[in-house]
Structure 1
Amino acid sequence: MDPAPRISRLWWFSAPVLAIMIGAVVVIGTLRVPYVILSPGGARSVGPLVTITQKPGGPKVTVDPATDDLLYLTVSSMVKPSGFLALRGWLDDKAEVEPSAPFLGTQTNQENRRLNLELMTDSQAKAKKVALERLGFEVKTVHQGAFLEDVDPTLPAGKVLKPGMTVVGADGKQIATRDQLVAAIGEHDPGDTMELQVVPLGETKPVTVKATLGERPDQPGEPVLGVSTVDRSTFVYPVDISIDSGQVGGPSAGLAFTLAILDRMTPGSLTGDGRVAVTGTIELDGSVGPVGGVNHKTEAAISEGAKLMLVPPDEYKEAVKASNGRIKVESVSTLDEALAALEAHGGDPLPAATR
C-alpha cells in the first residue's frame, strides 16, 4: 500500500503546530527580559581626552603633549536585553547575566543612565580638584547640598526619594552638606515626617517632598532616612581643564583622570615602562574607592596591551584572579600610593617642589 497519503495527512497536521512553535520561540526570543548583561568594555587612553589651558589673568601653566600610555577602563552593560541576547550572554564565559532589579533599584533604565552620567561629571570635578591641589594650586569649594547616591526602597522615604536627587533644604532650613542633612534627621524620631526640598536629577529648581523616617534596626529609637549621601559641590579652578569622556558614565575613572591631569601638567612621564590601566574612584581626600566589574575591566586592560593595572584594595583579589598572571596588578588605596606604584614601574616622580 502506498504510504504517501498517511505522510501527507501527518504533515498537514504537524506543519501548523511546528510553525506556531517556531513563531512562539521567535517572539519570546525578541522580547525584553529583566536582566542585565555585563561584559568587558574598553581601555581608552586618558591623556588625549584632557585639555588644559591657562585662564585669562590666571597662573601660567605648562602642558606636556598627550600620550597613549595611561588607560581608563569600562564595563559594557546591556539592560533588559532580548531573550536571544540574554541566552548568548549565558553561553559566553566572559559575560555575566544578572537580574536587572538590583542593578536598577527604584530607577528606570533612563534614570539610571542619567545618574551615571552625573556621577561621571562629579568624578571629573573631583579629579581636577585633587590634581590641582596636589600641584599646589588653590581650589575654592562651594557646597550646594546633599547628593543622594542611593536610596533604600524598603524604607518609607523610598516612595518619594530617588538616587540622583540633591537635598537642599530640610524643615525650612538650608542644607549645604551631607552633615547638615544628618543633623536635621537626628532632630526627629522614627515615624516623623520631614519636609525636604530636593532638586531632581537633571533639574535646576527644587521641589518639596514629605519623607517619613524609619527606625534603625541596629539602634532602636534612632531615625533613619535610608539614603546614601555625599556633598554636592562645585569648584572654582584657577586653570581651565576639560575632559571629554563622551557618553561613558559612572565614577570609576576618577583616579585615571587625576593621574592624567598630573601627567600633562608635569615634566616627564608618570607611566614609565609600558601602558598602565587604572580603575577606581577618587575622593576629595585623595582616597581611592571601589568601582565594580573589575573582572571585565581586567580583560579590557589585557586586550589593550597594558603591562600594569592599578585597582582599589577591595577589588585586588578579584583582579588578580581574573588576570591569571597575564598582567601585573597593584592595589592602591590613595593617590600617593598610585604615584608610588607608577614610579616603581619606571615612571617619573612628581617634582619635589610644586607651586
Structure 2
Amino acid sequence: MSRRALTLLLAGFLVLAFGVAGAFRPVPYVVLSPGPTENTLGEVEKKPVISISGRQTYPTSGALSLVTVAYQGGPAAQIDLLTALRGWIDPDVAVVPQETIFAPDRDPKEVEEENTVEMTNSQDSATAAALNELKIPYSMVVTVVSTEKGKPADGKLLKGDELTTIDGKDAKDVDVVSSTVKAHKPGEEVVFGVLRGGQKIEVPLRPIAGPKGQPQVGVLMQTKYKFPFDVDINVGDVGGPSAGLMFSLGILDKLTPGQLTGGKKIAGTGTIEPTGEVGPIGGIQQKMIGAKKAGATVFLTPADNCGEAVQAAPEGLRLVRADTLHAAVQALDALRTGAGAVPACPS
C-alpha cells in the first residue's frame, strides 16, 4: 500500500473514531416525549386514582384522563449526541436545552422535591376548585415542607409548622407569605407566627439576598386544605401541577349524579387554581400525542396553550378551550347533550 493510501486510510479511521466518540459525548439537552396517560375515573396499580370517603359518590363512565410528558436527560444523567439527534428527527418528541427544564443555579434534587410539592398542591387545589364549584365550604392553612441548609429558616422553622401570621397579618396562603418576605430588604426582620405542637410561637427571621437579589429565608411551603371529607388522589410517580384540571373534573364527576363524559374518552391538561381558573402548561404537543394514543377524541386545552395546540394537534383529536373549571364542565355538558356551544381553540 502506498504512503498516500495509508495516510488517507488512517485519516478516515481517525475521523470515524472521533465521530463515534463524539456521538456518545454528553450534551446539555433534554428529550421530551409522550408520558403515561391515566384515567382519573379509573385505577393505577389496582387502586382508584380518586378515592372519596365521608361523602356520597355516584357511578361514572368513560374517561377523564390526565396526560404527562416523560423526559430523558438532565444534569445528573445527560443524554448523548446520538440520542439528541434521534429526538430531532422524531416528530413525536422535542429536544430542548437543559436549562429550560433545570435552571443552572438549581439543585436537581431540589427541583424534584418542588415537583412533588407542586403535584400535592395541584391535588389540593383541584379538590378546592371542585368544592368551590359545588359550593361546599372548607378551610386552609400554610405549612412548612422543608428549609434550606444554611439559610435563615434552617433550624428555626420546622417541617409541619403551621404558619398563622406573617408580620402580624393573616398568612392565608403561600403567596401572602412570599410577597411579605419579598417586601423586606435583606437583613430586615420579618416575624412568622407559628402553630407548633398546639402552641403558638413567634419566629423572627432576617432574610438574606438570593441569587437575583430578592430577599429569602429558605423555606419551602405549601397550602394545606381542611376539607369536610377525605379526597385521596393516587397517580404513582407523576410530578408537577399540570393535571389539576383533570383532577377537579374527576372529583366533580364522582360527587354529582349523572356522567360528565357521556361515555366518551376525554383527555386534557391545565393547572388549576382553587377559584377554578385554568392555567397554561408545557409540553402540549407531547401531551396531545399521548392523549390520541390512549384513544381520546376530545382534548381540554388551556386558553393560553390554544395557539400552539392548534398547530400540532393530531388528526381526529378535537380541541376544546378550557378557561375555567366551570367553563370546562359546561363544555362537557354541551358535548354530551348536543345542546349549547362548545368553545374551540381558535385556528
With normalisation by structure 2, the TM-score equals: 0.73
Per-residue deviation at 1:87? 1.2
**3-state SS in 2 of match to 1:331:** strand
Q: Which deviations, in whole Å up to 9, do the C-alpha atoms of 1:63-115 show, x marking residues without a partner?
A: 425x4421111112222312211111112223221211232112233332222
**3-state SS in 1 of match to 2:237:** coil
2:326 aligned with 1:336, yes or no?
A: yes
Aligned to 1:107: 106
Alpha-carbon distance in structure 1 between the residues aligned to 2:220 and 2:112 = 19
Alpha-carbon distance in structure 1 between the residues aligned to 2:116 and 2:182 = 29
CA contact (8 A) 1:269 1:348 kept: no
Aligned to 2:36: 42
CA contact (8 A) 1:140 1:236 kept: yes
Alpha-carbon distance in structure 2 between the residues aligned to 1:21 and 1:14 = 10
Per-residue deviation at 1:26? 3.6
Q: Which deviations, in whole Å up to 9, do the C-alpha atoms of 1:287-337 show, x marking residues without a partner?
A: 111111112212222222212111111011211221265321111111110
Code of the residue aligned with 1:337 in structure 2: it is: A
Q: Which deviations, in whole Å up to 9, do the C-alpha atoms of 1:136-178 show, x marking residues without a partner?
A: 4332211236999xxxxxxxxxx979xxxx9969998798343
CA contact (8 A) 1:308 1:330 kept: yes
Alignment coverage as a number of residue pairs: 306
Alpha-carbon distance in structure 1 between the residues aligned to 2:266 and 2:141 = 34
**Structure 2 matches for 1:207-222, cutoff 5 A?**
210-212=207-209
Distance change (3 Å), C-alpha of 1:186 and 1:62: closer
Aligned to 1:179: 176
Aligned to 1:292: 282
Aligned to 1:129: 128
Per-residue deviation at 1:20? 4.8
Aligned to 1:244: 234
Alpha-carbon distance in structure 2 between the residues aligned to 1:100 and 1:73 = 22
Alpha-carbon distance in structure 2 between the residues aligned to 1:173 and 1:277 = 44
**Structure 2 matches for 1:83-232, cutoff 5 A?**
83-105=81-103, 106-144=105-143, 176=171, 177=173, 178-188=175-185, 192-194=186-188, 210-212=207-209, 225=215, 232=222
Alpha-carbon distance in structure 1 between the residues aligned to 2:211 and 2:98 = 26
Per-residue deviation at 1:230? 11
Alpha-carbon distance in structure 2 between the residues aligned to 1:160 and 1:231 = 15
Per-residue deviation at 1:278? 1.3
Alpha-carbon distance in structure 2 between the residues aligned to 1:266 and 1:169 = 34
Alpha-carbon distance in structure 2 between the residues aligned to 1:315 and 1:34 = 26
1:71 to 40, 65, 88: 65
CA contact (8 A) 1:127 1:258 kept: yes
Aligned to 1:33: 27
Greater C-alpha radius of gyration: 1
The share of aligned pairs that are identical, in percent, is 29
1:310 to 300, 305, 315: 300
Code of the residue aligned with 2:327 in structure 1: it is: E
Provide the aligned C-alpha RMSD in A: 4.0
Q: Which deviations, in whole Å up to 9, do the C-alpha atoms of 1:13-72 show, x marking residues without a partner?
A: 6666555544433433333211111222333211124343434xxxx423425x442111
Q: Which moved more, 1:133-142 or 1:71-80?
A: 133-142
In structure 1, runs of 5+ residues without a counterpart are 1-5, 149-158, 199-205, 216-222, 350-355
Alpha-carbon distance in structure 1 between the residues aligned to 2:180 and 2:167 = 14
Code of the residue aligned with 1:310 in structure 2: it is: L
Distance change (3 Å), C-alpha of 1:248 and 1:63: same
